[in-house]
Structure 1
Amino acid sequence: MNSQNPKAMSNDSRCVFFNTDSEDYRCVVILTVKRATGTFSLVGCIFMLFVIWLLRRYHSLAQKMILSLTVAAFFDSVGYVMGDSHPEGSLCDFQACWLTYFDWSALAWVCLITVNLYLNLVREISTNRYEMSYHLMAWGVPLVMASLPLLKGYYGPAGAWCWITDDHVAWRFGIWYVPLFSLIFLMICCYARIICVANARMQSWLGTFNPERERQKGVKQQGAI
């Protein structure tokens, strides 16, 4: 009687997410959804890049930051279209490092765009001189975050793609989840402040101006004439 030892099964035929055969329909569905969403995002990024190029919207700092965000999202999408969860090895490490780097880069650009808007509107500071600093942070910080698990050897098969393995869950939270939700909370606070300041300034610009009353005045003046 021939029996196959699960431990002897090669990584090529394993679905790490469900700890079963890679042909399991659940794995196929997850990988299909991953590729579909990645492809949709990729097409969207290509369209955005084309529009930016067509309309020449890459001259001001804000436009350049949006362009950089689109580039980061483009390469991030490429990572999700790469293919199956690869067996442990250099290719898997490359995919994991690629995803971590560009996930972080896209997040960094979103945060910096928020900071730039906050400085412009709330603090009324010209930020053109910060362009190089923005690029150093948006491309440099992700490099550090992606390199740490690589140097520690913590990358490997982690479900439908390669990332930090299940044996190092704390690193997942330290490298991604905790910073992600902390930054989202801070951005919500920034946008709340931006909205409050924008509303206050709109009220100060309008003053006691009442459009309906001014219209009625105009009608009366025309009638008197």
Structure 2
Amino acid sequence: MRSSPEIYQREALAAPADESQMALQSIVILIVSVLSVLGAGWIILSFICFKALRSFRHQLILGLALSDFLMALNFLSSTAMNISGKEIGAREQKTFCSFNGFTTQVFVIQTDYWVLTIAMCTYVILAGHKSLSSWVQDQRILLSCLPWALSLLWAGIGLKLAGYGDIGAWCWFTSDKVRLLANFVPRWVIIIIILAMYARLYWILRKSHKSFISLGNSTSDPASGHRTTQGPMRSNHDAWRYYESDAAGRRKLQRIAKLMLMYPIVYMIVWTLPTAIRIYQTITHTPSPFALQTLDKACIVSQGLVDAVIYGINEVSLSQWRELVF
């Protein structure tokens, strides 16, 4: 009769093969978790300290940062237990493992919903859909509750239908196929949707900027014509100043839209390896090398750090911190 560790190893291909690998992987994931806690904490602290970072979009980003922060703390708890010798896969830790797996599922998919919500609201506002934009900004409570409601629902269904078990540094679905279908396929659908929206937004703003420049060149030339009265000359000068100001604003929006195109691309880079490993292990029923498994988990845990770079580090936040510190 096989021992339970052998059965576990057969069912959870993502789990390390022995205790030494388990300890090493837990240390690596703990370090990455700390970085994600710091990254998410940066966004949260910036929101608290600076009024300039409390816009509607920043409120949604705060929701994402809170999810990243709590998810990283969840990973910290499981890795700390493994390192301390209380392995989360042990029979006596079954309740903790179920809770840890449930929490993992909640926040992993919740971050996807937050990223999608941020992208949709950003698109609606910057693309010029005024009535829809006003409606969206009036539904802040609803938009803040939806990611929580949906993620809790799906995590509860997962707990009931599949259950959660030890996969190494934390607990989750032990089946690669279940994780692939329940998490990775929906995530890639969301990434593609976000990429399409930001590409469309960039095209809209680029087209709008070109049309505006063309219109400005044809109707507002401050060097043309000679005015005999001071009034018309001042009016023409004010119009040109307005044109330059509006043009600068449009260029800024275009730069922002171009930067936003990098968001889904970064997510694609982060999630390519974990997805490839899920597909490989689902098809072959063979565990991938330990180094790749550890890198796979590190990519997942780095979500808070990645989101901090994408959403938390920008000209406004850096300038606000410089003013506060210096």
- Return the TM-score normalized by structure 1: 0.80
- 1:118-133 to structure 2, matched below 5 A, reads 118-122=123-127, 123-124=129-130, 125-126=133-134, 127-133=136-142
Out of 20, 25, 45, the position equivalent to 1:23 is 20
- 2:95 and 2:37 map into 1 onto residues whose CA distance is 25
Aligned length: 206
| Structure 1 runs, 4 residues or longer, greater than 6 Å off | none
- 1:1-225 to structure 2, matched below 5 A, reads 7=3, 17=14, 20-24=17-21, 27-57=22-52, 59-82=54-77, 83=79, 84=82, 86-87=88-89, 89-122=94-127, 123-124=129-130, 125-126=133-134, 127-166=136-175, 169-207=176-214, 209=216
SS in 1 for 2:169: coil
**Any conservation in 1 of the 2:164–2:171 contact (CA below 8 Å)?**
yes
Structure 2 residue runs of 5 or longer lacking an equivalent are 225-326
- CA drift of 1:19 comes to 5.7
- 1:193 and 1:111 map into 2 onto residues whose CA distance is 15
- 1:65 and 1:19 map into 2 onto residues whose CA distance is 37
SS in 1 for 2:3: helix
**Any conservation in 2 of the 1:16–1:160 contact (CA below 8 Å)?**
no
- 1:28 and 1:105 map into 2 onto residues whose CA distance is 28
Letter in 1 for 2:173: I
- 2:16 and 2:108 map into 1 onto residues whose CA distance is 26
- CA drift of 1:57 comes to 4.4
**Any conservation in 2 of the 1:154–1:164 contact (CA below 8 Å)?**
yes
Letter in 2 for 1:55: F
- CA drift of 1:31 comes to 1.6
- 2:58 and 2:5 map into 1 onto residues whose CA distance is 51
- 1:140 and 1:8 map into 2 onto residues whose CA distance is 36
Q: Which has the higher contact order (CA 8 A, sep 6+)?
A: 2
Summarize deviations over 1:3-59 as a string: whole Å, max 9, x none: xx8616599xxx9745632123xx333222211111001011222222211112464
Whichever structure has more helix as a proportion of its residues is: 2
What percent identity do the matched residue pairs reach? 19
RMSD of aligned Cα (Å): 2.9
